[in-house]
Amino acid sequence: MSYLGKVALKASDIRRLDVTSSTSATHTLTWTPPNEQSLIITINGVKQQNNYSISGVTLTLDSALVATDEMEVIGINDIGTTNVPGSGVITNDMLSSSFSVDTAELADDSVTADKLANSINTEIAANTAKVTNATHTGDVTGATALTIANDAVDIAMLSATGTASATTFLRGDNSWVAPTGGLTEADCWVMTTTFTDDAKPIASNWARDTSNGFGLLGTGMTESSGIFTFPSTGHWQVDFQLMVQIPTSFEERTGGVAIYVSVNAGVDYERVKWSATASNFLQSTQTYHSSSCSTLLDVTNTSNFKVQFWYDGSNSSTQVRGTSDNETCVTFKKLADT
């Protein structure tokens, strides 16, 4: 058992090593002799003197042994002689049980960082960094209680999902999303040419509004032979307005408009709104009246949902007005996502 310091109730500390069958001049002791004088070395019973040297735990003879030699090494540490343990001999477990080392036994500045546990060195480094950076300037100020300056946190410093842009906003769940409120689609189509008699549906002469001040919002509708297709799914409002002109020689001067919708890609159409009017405006030899109707559609599939517009008049001489004043037109507005 190794000891550090003086050993109680012992006049000396004696160590012994036997060497046989060796042909080497160097030998490793199990202790560190304080000097050459602390050793008694015999080879084949003959005491050796001034024909060896020591360095740490290594004993070096002037001449190598032969295989038949028997060497005995005795080491004596007298009271008052310091017994220096070998390198790496003392472990943490030995310090906590076999050894009693107090502050008095440690020389000043004798314990280096290499001899401290890695976790202790890490904590020391962290505390040193805190002390070094105790006073902050710029966006974060203060010595003990730190304060973030007003307007110091910009968009780049936020941790959020999604992409920050001019068209997104930051929600309460810390994600950038596009707004869902407000109109995202609005379109208007007009009749460009006046036609006579009924039209079931009105299959021609449709064009997007080009009147002064009109502004298309979003992608807009597409039209083919009077059949309109939606650009995206969602809740849509559809408004249909129509004006007719009837010669005064006819007593029957009523008419109606209707919105027809298909949900199976145009295979079948069903009337969803109908409006008829007998309100007339007489001007010279002509009578005018207008009709309108409106519906709300939940367009869940842009391939299946189609819409078209009908006119059903009371006589065959009725003219459906298509002029630059947009007397006959349809308006589409997407109110929300489906």
Chain centroid offset of residue 100 CA: 54
- Strand segments (E) across 79-191: 140-141, 147-148, 169-170, 176-177, 185-191
**Whole-number pLDDT of residue 55:** 93
CA distance 87 to 29: 13
Give the side-chain half-sphere CA count within 13 A for 321.
18
**Comma-separated ranges of CATH 2.60.120.40 domains in the chain:** 185-336
Instruction: Look up residue 247 and give its two tokens.
Output: 């010669």
CA distances 28 to 33, 89, 164, Å, are 11, 15, 72
Cβ–Cβ < 8 Å for 90, 99: yes
Average pLDDT, the chain: 82
Q: Looking at the domain that runs over 185-336, which CATH code has it been given? A: 2.60.120.40
CA distance 299 to 303: 10
pLDDT along the chain (338 residues), means of 10: 52 84 93 90 91 93 93 80 54 54 71 79 74 63 74 76 85 83 89 90 94 91 97 96 76 77 96 75 68 94 97 80 86 92
Nearest residue to 269 (alpha-carbon basis) of 306, 303, 241: 306
CA distance 255 to 196: 13
Instruction: Look up residue 81 and give its two tokens.
Output: 């002689």
Q: Which long-range contacts (CB under 8 A, 24 or more apart) does 122-125 make?
A: none
pTM of the shown model: 0.50
